[in-house]
Structure 1
Amino acid sequence: MTQSLTPQITPEISSRKPSPDDFEKPAIPDLTNVTIDNSEPVDNLISEKQQRLLVSSLYSSFNVSEPFLATANVGLFYAANKPPLVPDIMLSLGVTLPEDWSEKKDQSYFTWNFGKSPEIVVEIVSNKVGNELGNELGTKLKDYSQARVGYYVVFDPFHYLGKPNLYIYQLKGINYQLISTNWLEEIGLGLTIWEGEFEGKSYQWLRWCDEQGQILLIGDEKVALEKQRADQEKQRADEEKQRADQERKRVEYLEEILRSQGINF
């Protein structure tokens, strides 16, 4: 019995490099019925002040060569078929704001428009709902990992979650891992608990810091620091002038004594 053999056809291999046009571009979601602002009030006064402190200090003192976006309570849309996350604080490096804000697609953080996920989000625990089985250390931990946010920070000023008041997670693969350092190497920023006064309220605030632990100052603090330096410089100059005047008077006194003794020079 003779078998019929099917000829083997070797596919032609092209040396041409693929171009962006060879790949199917993702469809841009229709945002017509998407709610980007649900008009919910802020949690409490401490949380509201804490958010402004973190955002304003970045714009005042974060020395980075690339543009960045820092926001408070802005929607983070990471998937077309999922509701947005609304972090208390969000920082994204290497992105710029659109010049025209008239369109809905430019009024929130849509990852497909900015081309990347944020580097870090911060959630501030303001009530007992934020527990390990609930929000900040539960569902939000999972949600932000799915959004591919590099660092997830939970600040618990009232210790609703336990003894620690600061939790820092870093994305490792597809899951977050709790880390022991407060220095975020990939971002060039650190976090520290700072006890001091902000807008007339003395408290233990969460602050950005550099690698040496020096806090990033807000505008008012920078002005106050410059004034302090100027006052110290003026005081130093006044002291130098006072010493010079005293020396001049001492020399004049000695000259007068010598003249009284008939010694001329």
Structure 2
Amino acid sequence: MTISLPRTLHAPLNIRWEPLPDDFVLPDDPVESTLQPLLAAALREALELDDRIPAHCLIASNFGLCAVVDGKTIVKAPDWVYVPRVQSVSVGTVRRSYTPNLEGEKPAIVMEFISATEGGEYSIKPSYPYGKWFFYEQILQVPIYVIFEPDICCLEVYQLQEGQYKALKPNPEGRYWLGEIGLFSGVWQGQKAEVTAPWLRWWDESGRLLLWGSERIAEERLRAEQAEGETLQERLRAEQAEGETLQERLRAERSEAQLQALQERLRSLGVDLGPD
């Protein structure tokens, strides 16, 4: 899907990158679905456990991205955002928001998770307060825009090409290559945090799934059980070999005893067996 935005719909925008005023009241919209924060946390968790979160990058959810457009401060809070490089802040400072091109690079990826209540993820409204699609495409110019609707297991990925978002096509496995983060993104059906649902997951270039913490623990437990089983098998094989050796020894001792008994019997009958 491509939403074309005629250039004649709006005059050139006057965009400035300024810090959010201290007295600016950030929107405190309620989360539309209990799954949304779980989706965002799961995406970060897999990256963190695979050591793919450099110290200089910013990953956040429901976090305000700011710009001043035609003199008005605009803040949009995507459900998930990835910024490759940001400026460090003082120890103890908590970011209230992020202004691209002032505090670091612009976001490389933004994601929106659609719930039953449509939140304007496709809005191209070119006037204040601006639609999300318009804000990410025309104002921030984010290279990758992901829209995921778990209720119907629908994933759409758009790439900024010549100033407009155009839909990407998935690979044969239904995954999308996101060069900005060096991973594939796709839908995985299963359970996490006692919730069975479609989840957004990461795969590396070789097709390896980036695991969550619970999956890593299960994998380690399985490896330990397999190693224990292999050790037990080795012990059983060693005991079996020892048993076979003992049996051979017993057979040899029995044969020697039988031979000696026969020789003694023959001598008692006067048979000269000659020297031993």
Please confirm whether the aligned pair reaches a TM-score higher than 0.5, indicating the same fold.
yes
Matches for 1:18-57 after TM superposition, within 5 Å: 28-29=18-19, 31-36=21-26, 38-57=27-46
Bigger Cα displacement from structure 2, 88-97 vs 246-255: 88-97
- 8 Å contact kept, 2:18–2:68: no
Q: Give the TM-score normalised by structure 2.
A: 0.74
Gaps of at least 5 residues in structure 1 are 1-25
Look up the match of 2:122. Answer: 137
Q: Tell me, what secondary structure is at the counterpart of 2:102?
A: helix
Structure 2, unpaired ranges of 5+: 1-15, 124-130, 171-175, 260-276
Q: Which residue of 2 aligns with 1:79?
A: 68
CA contact (8 A) 2:110 2:145 kept: yes
The 5-angstrom pairing of residues 7-18 of structure 1 reads none
For 1:111, the aligned partner's letter is P
Alignment correspondent of 1:180: 169
Q: CA deviation at 1:115?
A: 2.1
Does residue 91 of the first structure (1) align with residue 86 of the second (2)?
A: no
How far did 1:119 drift? Answer: 0.8
Structure 2 CA distance for aligned equivalents of residues 121 and 195 of structure 1: 22
Task: Give the drift of 1:214.
Answer: 2.6
Q: 1:250 to 1:27 in 2, by over 3 A?
A: closer
5 Å-filtered alignment, 1:179-198, equals 179-181=168-170, 182-198=176-192
Describe the superposition over 1:182-211 as per-residue Cα deviations: whole angstroms up to 9, x where unpaired.
Answer: 011232011111112101122221112212
Match runs of 1:117-156 below 5 Å: 117-130=106-119, 135-138=120-123, 139-145=131-137, 146-156=139-149
**Rg (Cα) greater in structure:** 2
- Name 2:222's counterpart in structure 1: 228
Q: Secondary structure at the match of 1:137?
A: coil
Give yes or no for contact 2:87–2:104 (8 Å, CA) kept in 1.
Answer: no
**Pairing 1:230-245 to 2, within 5 Å after superposition:** 230-245=224-239
How many pairs were matched up? Answer: 228
Residues 45/27 of structure 1: CA separation in 2 closer, same or farther (3 Å cut): closer
The equivalent residue for 1:250 is 244
- Shift in Å, 1:128: 4.2
Q: Please provide the CA RMSD for this pair.
A: 2.5
The offset of 1:49, in angstroms, is 1.6
Please give the TM-score of this superposition, normalised by the length of structure 1: 0.77
Correspondent of 2:205 among 201, 206, 211: 211
Structure 1 residues 251, 212: closer, same or farther in 2, change over 3 A?
A: same
CA contact (8 A) 1:92 1:118 kept: yes
Q: Which amino acid aligns with 1:151?
A: I
